Structure 1
Amino acid sequence: MHEMREEARTESSGSKSEARAPRRGRTVAGAAERGLAALRRKLSSGELNSLPVVLVLAAVWITFQILNQNFLSPRNLSNLSVDIVGTGLIAVGIVFVLLIGELDLSVGAISGLAAAVFAVLNVNNGVPEWLALVIAVLAGTAAGTVQGFSFARTRVPAFVVTLAGLLTWNGLMLYILGTSGTVNLSEDGIVAQLTSYYLSQDAVAYGVAAISAVMVFAAAHQDRRRRMAVGMPHRSFTGIAVRTGVVAVPAFAIAYVLNRFQGLPLALLVFLVVVAGLDLVLRRTHYGRQVYALGGGVEAARRASLNVAGVQTAVLAVSGTMAGIGGLFLASRITSVSQSSGSGVLLLNAIAAAVIGGTSLFGGRGTTWSAVLGMLVIQSIASGMAITDTPVAVQFMITGGVLFAAVVIDSFSRRTQEAHGRA
């Protein structure tokens, strides 16, 4: 009798587990189906996010890898990760300006000015390198603040104010450099080491990848708890896990590739920390919410009692600061500063990187990570052209085509969102 009861209990528990298994399967399948449905709704309503630029980047990498097997080699990808930093930092500042629906044309000149200030103070006048570095960055901040104050108080369009700034700061840079025109930096100095120093221990790169995944998980989990507390729709743990995996897999893959060459470049680490920090400022602070609100409409922001002039001034100050920092990284890459610093296609590449990465020209939409993605596309094209001996003229045409496509997609996305009442 006891054995019969045990057998019945076993059959009962088995039938319950069998009954639970299909429900669990249906739950997972249902979660996947709901995720795909949400993605389709976002795409149909114009919320493309970073999908187009990721597809473009994948196409660029596949194309150049087919043309030359060395394109995705650890050496080339490591060099690519360093090459994006200088202009990428400038592009991050451009993102702030684009978010309020304006444009800063002076960032190239400010980057050259900051580099010239550092070189002249440190090399020509013997000022300690750390102090010259701080003064150079503050010079960029001051230039941006002056332009921001002028823009906010006079209400002259920002592109006009910064166009005047472009000429002014470029002239000031030439004056500071003097008749020599070129100043060579010490190859053993702090600035020169910014783009030549590598963290060669494998654990460093993998540690950064792990920290990135943990931060994504923690942020998503905190957002879930906050939404649950007020009864708002929230992600499931499955969705959070998938989101974390989307970051963790490429992060560890990048760490593996970089470790196969010289390790994690210091320049790339600094770049990612700055981008992540400013992303938190935009998404998690009152100032960041004001920036996005201002991008939605200046008059609406004024009626909501936002400090419009203060935000406008601060945005251009951030742009000037990032231009100054980016200029130092660009000078580090070639270990010199000359009269051509900050000129050429630098300004165009910085603006193009922000736009190609997904920052809207109409304001109110974009993140600092847009600059990273856009810069990756632009520099990948440049690197691929160089490694395949393609004329520079073709590089400009391809980059211009990608930029035009990004603007068209941005316009289409905005119109679609307006049609769905989301813009």
Structure 2
Amino acid sequence: MTGAQLDRADARLRQDEGLAGAVRGFIDRVRSGDLGMLPVFVGLLLITVVFASLNPVFLAPNNLVNLLFDAAAIGLISLGVVCVLLLGEIDLSIGSMSGLASAMVGVLWVNSGLPMPLAVLGAVLAGAVVGAIYGTLRNRFEMPSFVATLSGLLALLGLQLYLLGATGSINLPYTSGLVRFGQILIMPDWLSYLAAILPGAILLGSGLRTMRRRREANLSSPGLSVLLVKAGVLTVALLACAAYLNQGRGVPYMFGVFTLFVVALDYALRRTKWGRSMFAVGGNAEAARRSGINVRRIRLSAFVLCSSLASLGGVFAASRLASASQQAGTGDVNLNAIAAAVIGGTSLFGGRGSAWSALLGIIVIQAISNGLTLLNLSSSLRYMITGAVLAIAVIVDSLARRSRASHGRA
């Protein structure tokens, strides 16, 4: 038997391992420190069990619908944070940028009479300009992103207060499409079920295509049984969630739009040259530069995307509250957005993360906030618990990073 035939036989053997091989591979990854989303799911399960036992209303369908409404705005901001964290950078002005965007929408739309879509577009473009400024300061002057964005936090907050003027707030029309989007618009049942089926179908289709390509190249690939189980479990879980939420008000369009942004960024990070460059720069910027990647352009794109998503998150928050005020973007917005990305599995050290980190992380954050509110506990306790959860997430990330390093040396 020739060497090529041996390689093909070995590849087929690995393919035939099926579910048992997938389970062994998962255990090996966990032992090596690659925990993935496992801590998030375990934490979310514990949070659910604790709060549901203390107050059964926590798992009521309508309460979960409200939780998803509240998660969308901060989740969108957190999605931008994922981009800068992947590079080992940070943006501390995301809260102020979201507050400024909401103020711009109020001034341009309500006070100046511009059409609402143009007002929203103007706010998002303002975020892109701010992100470009941060990227330029980092690239041309080597200013640490911590310092640049901290300065931006103060400047943007001042501009927000200036735009809102003496009144300090602007009410948005309650009958407008933007406010209805943030407060009452719900998917019809058939659309929510279709949205629940699509991810599994996409996973199955892309998996089959990948398997075919790898087999044509005589490379190993997971067995068909593994792919079918993954797609089946995902579809059943999402259908169950949709059915349960439909017992109440249903799935919010606002959360659905946020999920679409997550899917789009996930595709961009995993399937495009830009996404691969993001991970390369975050892992080792100098090695990425020597391999021909334009590190400055990647950094600039990350900051622009982060601030733009923060602006859009501010628009979502304004639609949820039906107002733009001086309090928008303040308080725990920065904490929750950054904590969601880190708790969801994005590393503070760069090079590791996923768009899904923002979605899973913000659900954890909102579950804690919602559960404590139902228990009628003070906001001070909520801050302390959220801070403790963030600290635990960073510790887990550090330990996993150390485990991967020691495993690599071994």
Scaled by the length of structure 2, the TM-score of the pair is 0.94
What's the offset of the Cα at 1:345?
A: 0.8
Distance in structure 2 (CA, Å) of the matches to 1:96 and 1:326: 15
Larger Rg: 1
When the two structures are aligned, how many residues end up with a matched partner? Answer: 397
1:307-328 residue CA offsets vs partner (Å, 9 max, x unmatched): 1111101100000110001001
Cα offsets for 1:99-147 (capped at 9, x unmatched): 0001111111110111111110110111111111111111111111111
Q: Could you tell me which amino acid in structure 1 is paired with residue 31 of structure 2?
A: S
CA contact (8 A) 2:15 2:220 kept: no
Q: Deviations over 1:319-346 (max 9, x none)?
A: 0110001001111111111112111110
Name which of structure 1's ranges 346-355 and 211-220 shifts more when overlaid on structure 2. 211-220
Which residue of 2 is the match for residue 119 of structure 1? 106
Match of 1:108 among 95, 105, 120: 95
1:206 aligned residue: 193
Alignment identity in percent?
A: 41
Deviation, structure 1 residue 30: 5.5
Letter in 2 for 1:136: A
CA distance in 1, matches of 2:409, 2:212: 25
- From 252, 258, 268, the equivalent of 2:255 is 268
The corresponding residue for 1:15 is: none
- Taking the TM superposition and a 5 Å limit, the aligned residue runs for 1:341-420 are 341-420=328-407
Structure 1 residue 336 corresponds to structure 2 residue 323: yes
Report the 3-state secondary structure (helix = DSSP H, G, I; strand = E; otherwise coil) of the residue aligned with 1:102. Answer: coil
State TM-score, norm by structure 1.
0.91
Residue 134 of structure 1: aligned partner: 121
Question: Which residue of the partner structure matches residue 18 of structure 1?
Answer: none
Q: Following the alignment from structure 1 to structure 2, what is the Cα–Cα distance between the partners of residues 140 and 56?
A: 33
The residue aligned with 2:75 is 88
d(CA) in 2 for partners of 1:378 and 1:109? 20
C-alpha distance in structure 2 between counterparts of 1:225 and 1:422, whole Å: 34
The aligned amino acid for 1:217 is L
Write the mapping of 1:296-311 to structure 2, written as runs, cut at 5 A. 296-311=283-298
The structural deviation recorded for 1:36 is 2.0
- 1:236 maps to a residue whose letter is G
- Structure 2: 5+ residue stretches without partners: 1-13
Secondary structure in structure 1 of the residue aligned to 2:175: coil
3-state SS of 1:337 partner = strand
Answer yes or no: is 1:182 the counterpart of 2:169.
yes
Stretches of structure 1 that go unaligned for 5 or more consecutive residues are 1-26
Q: Find the counterpart in structure 2 of residue 286 from structure 1.
A: 273
Q: In 2, are the aligned partners of 1:115 and 1:337 still within 8 Å (CA)?
A: yes
Q: Tell me, in whole angstroms, the C-alpha distance in 1 between the residues paired with 2:320 and 2:301.
A: 29
The CA distance in 1 between the partners of 2:187 and 2:141, in whole Å, is 51
For 1:275, give the aligned amino acid: V
Partner of 2:132: 145
RMSD across aligned C-alpha pairs, in angstroms? Answer: 1.7
Taking a change above 3 Å as real, the CA distance of residues 136 and 334 of structure 1, as seen in their structure-2 partners, is same
The whole-number CA distance in structure 2 between the counterparts of 1:371 and 1:136 is 22
Q: 1:44 aligned to 26, 31, 44, which one?
A: 31
